[in-house]
Amino acid sequence: MPNSKKPTRIRRRMSVLSRRRGRRWRRGIARNLRRNLIAGSLLLIPVALTYLVVRFIFDLVDGVLRPAIQWAFQRAGLDWTIPGLGVVAMVILVYVAGLALANALGRQMLRWSQEALLRVPLIGTLYSAAKKLVESFSGTGETGFKRVVMIEYPRSGAWTIGFLTGITSTSIGAMAVIYIPTAPTPNTGWVAIVPVEQVLDTDLTVQTAIQLTFSGGILSPATIKIRKLELTAALIGPAPKTPAEDHE
């Protein structure tokens, strides 16, 4: 009888050990799968996001000129559908426009075209605003982003980056006109008009601030020096021109 119990205990012990090894093996597989899936996601998600953004921009640019090119092909009796032809045409158009600006005749023609656009109701207003916005981001032109500033928003103690676009006078004092960009597309945002006393000036450049916004704060500078905003002649500047006067 005692001898018959001993093999039973051994079998039970071996069964327990086998179950433990099985659980450890399954946990090891689960950890390995989880680790590799996380590592693969961290590698492929940025690639996928980059592809989606590039594909969106490609389709957007390609769709601008592709209908006109397809119409020209149809008029010529050609049944061609070439993906990306609109992008190629856009690159050629941009190059030709830049080439035209390199000589006096091209600049004069551009000036005449701008004057014609500015005289068209509604279109002139839209073109003037778009032109000044592009000049603001590129750092060219007399108008645009004068300084990178900070204001308390959306609550007390929380600060938001903004671009000072001008100073205006009101019955309660000088007010700062600030463009507040949204992440991750700094070309969209809203305008805030706040008292000058509530605005802090920074040492950031426009390009650094745009990079900070576009990256969602990931590419932020190590330090930001701030001080009270001081009104200077450069900040106040001349009175803004109307769209009809912009070409003069």
Q: Rounded distance, CA 94 to CA 112, Å?
A: 18
- CA neighbor of 215 nearest in space, from 37, 88, 46: 46
Which of these ranges, 67-81, 83-97, 162-176, 231-245, has the smallest mean pLDDT?
Answer: 231-245
What single letter denotes the amino acid at residue 131?
A: K
pLDDT at 244: 47
- What value does the mean pLDDT take over residues 60-71? 82
Dist. CA 101–CA 198, nearest whole Å: 42
Element (H, E) at 112: helix 104-119
- Which segment, 56-70, 193-207, 211-225, 231-245, is predicted with the most confidence on average? 193-207
d(CA 72, CA 85): 12
* Residues 146-160 pLDDT 10s: 789 999 988 888 899
Measured CA to CA, the distance from residue 147 to residue 205 in angstroms comes to 8
DSSP states of 115-168: HHHHHSTTHHHHHHHHHHHHHHHHT-SSSS--EEEEEE-SSTT-EEEEEEEEEE
Percent pLDDT > 90 in the chain is 9
- What pTM did the predictor assign? 0.52
* Mean pLDDT along residues 135-142: 60
Helix (H) / strand (E) containing 204: none
Looking at residue 247, its pLDDT comes to 47
Q: Which residue shows structure tokens 């605003």?
A: 129
Q: How many CA atoms lie within 13 A of 128 on its CB side?
A: 21
What pLDDT score does 81 carry?
76
Given the structure tokens 């309660």, which residue do they identify?
A: 172
Domain boundaries, the chain: 1-102, 147-231
CA dist 190 and 195 (Å) reads: 17
pLDDT beyond 50 at 172: yes
Structure tokens of 106? Answer: 């091209």
